[in-house]
Amino acid sequence: MTADKARKKAIRARVAATGDSYTRARRKIAGSPGRDFQPRRVAVFGAGYIGLVTGACFAELGHQVILRDVQPEKIRMLQAGEVPIFEPGLGDLLAANKDRLSFTVDAADAVRDAEVVYVCVDTPPTASGDADLSRVWAVIDSLKGVSTDRLAALVMKSTVPVGTGERVRAALDDAGLAHVGYAANPEFTSEGRAVRTFLRPDRVVIGAADEESAGLVTALHGGVDGPVEVMRIADAEMVKLASNALLATKISFINEIATVCEATGADVEAVAKAIGMDSRLGPHFLRAGLGYGGSCFPKDSRALRVMASNTGHPFQLLSAVIEVNELQPRRAIQRLKNELGTLKRRRIALLGMTFKAGTDDMREAPSTVVASRLLAEGADIHCWDPLARPGEAEPWTSATRHASPVQAMTGADAAMVITEWPQLRQVDWTAARHAMRNPLIFDGRNLLDPKKMRATGFTYIGVGRP
């Protein structure tokens, strides 16, 4: 065994034994970040989900990081050691690296000593469906009038349309910042595993027009356990959009197969398992359910379709993917109506609210569509979720939230598994059956064992299951 292989084996053994991140374990075993390591001063604009993970992970890698956000309350929370979002391991990472992290609302303060500025701001859709880049331009404006002698590069982590890099380069030049390099470094964050996917990614994509910027961003990721792919800026911008569109396509495809399975008597779980064994296809994202949600897949799929439409190309495949996903939670309501006849004055328990397990994120969650449709049908909604933060808006202001799944199901005419929370596998389903008025369960994530649920006395309905 070579020395390098032995070192990697020792690091992985420590990760498994202690729960340390790969980078922390590497440092502890090596004793230092390495002779060639050069810590940088990094300013991260946007302390949202992507910005916080990016800042915390760069600090973990040994860089000095300042995070800037326009929301004073968020900055006050971070300065007090509180984490405004839930992400496994993020709070520990922020606490462990507090000496290398600072927070501010002052853009000039963030930029003043920075060698690299990372842009991690929102780019929501406008009325036309195009990305709203106003926050991106605001970051560039904040560089004006500030001493930027140390600033070597502006790096785009926000999801932007292809061609944005050219516009940003021109804006930097117009602002007298021709000496500042530019690179695209798109994020491929998986919520619930964000820290791990940053420090041990499938790949780090870097788009740059010059070797200096590419080398700087590559060096920033020293200690990250994953391959680096350097390419042109436009290619990197497209990789982000295309990757999410392809993953969304796999989800919509298996949901269409599930619908055919329901009509023919096949079981989508068995079908998907066998499909996933093909090395050309793989098992990932072949889980039938209520469709995709979150901050990336819906937004990025629509953005790519709009971008294609702007070039005169109707992206028909992607349009079908989006349509299938939008219909999926509505199909669940129809299947419930087929069983109950009417939903008016029916008490329905929603088990899970967030768009996926392991996060408190409610953005584009299928539960919101389900709950809205139930309200429109006249149903009484009771829900449970361990982390969800739905805010003060309908349909959630009209729903009753409970501390446990069984409490939510008490007196219910039906229960719907909306999010694949592992806690639901531990529920006392015998107690739940006795607590319900009508023991009907719609398993929107195929999380539960149909045979066990039926043996317990439930009428069980899954997605794509006979």
Encode 7-24: b = buried (16+ Cβ within 10 Å), e = exposed. ebeebeebbeeeebbbbb
Does 296 qualify as catalytic in the annotation? Answer: yes
- Decide the pairing of beta strands 153-156 and 181-184: parallel
State the residue for tokens 């006849």.
Answer: 341
57, 120, 261, 296: which is the annotated catalytic residue? 296
Q: By C-alpha distance, which of 316, 409, 319, 328 is closest to 364?
A: 328
In sequence order, the 6+-apart residues with CB closer than 8 A to the CB of 306 are 125, 128, 129, 130
Yes or no: say if 71 and 50 are a contact pair by the CB < 8 Å rule: no
Yes or no: say if 46 and 120 are a contact pair by the CB < 8 Å rule: yes
Q: Where are the alpha helices (DSSP H) in 349-398?
A: 366-376
- In this structure, the chain runs to a length of 466
User: What is the C-alpha to C-alpha distance for residues 217 and 214, in angstroms, rounded to an integer?
Assistant: 5
Q: By C-alpha distance, which of 356, 345, 343, 426 is closest to 385?
A: 356
* Environment class of 174 (CB within 10 Å of its CB; exposed 0-12, middle 13-18, buried 19+): exposed
User: What is the C-alpha to C-alpha distance for residues 32 and 239, in angstroms, rounded to an integer?
Assistant: 34
In sequence order, the 6+-apart residues with CB closer than 8 A to the CB of 376 are none
DSSP code of 363?
T
What amino acid positions are annotated as catalytic residues?
296
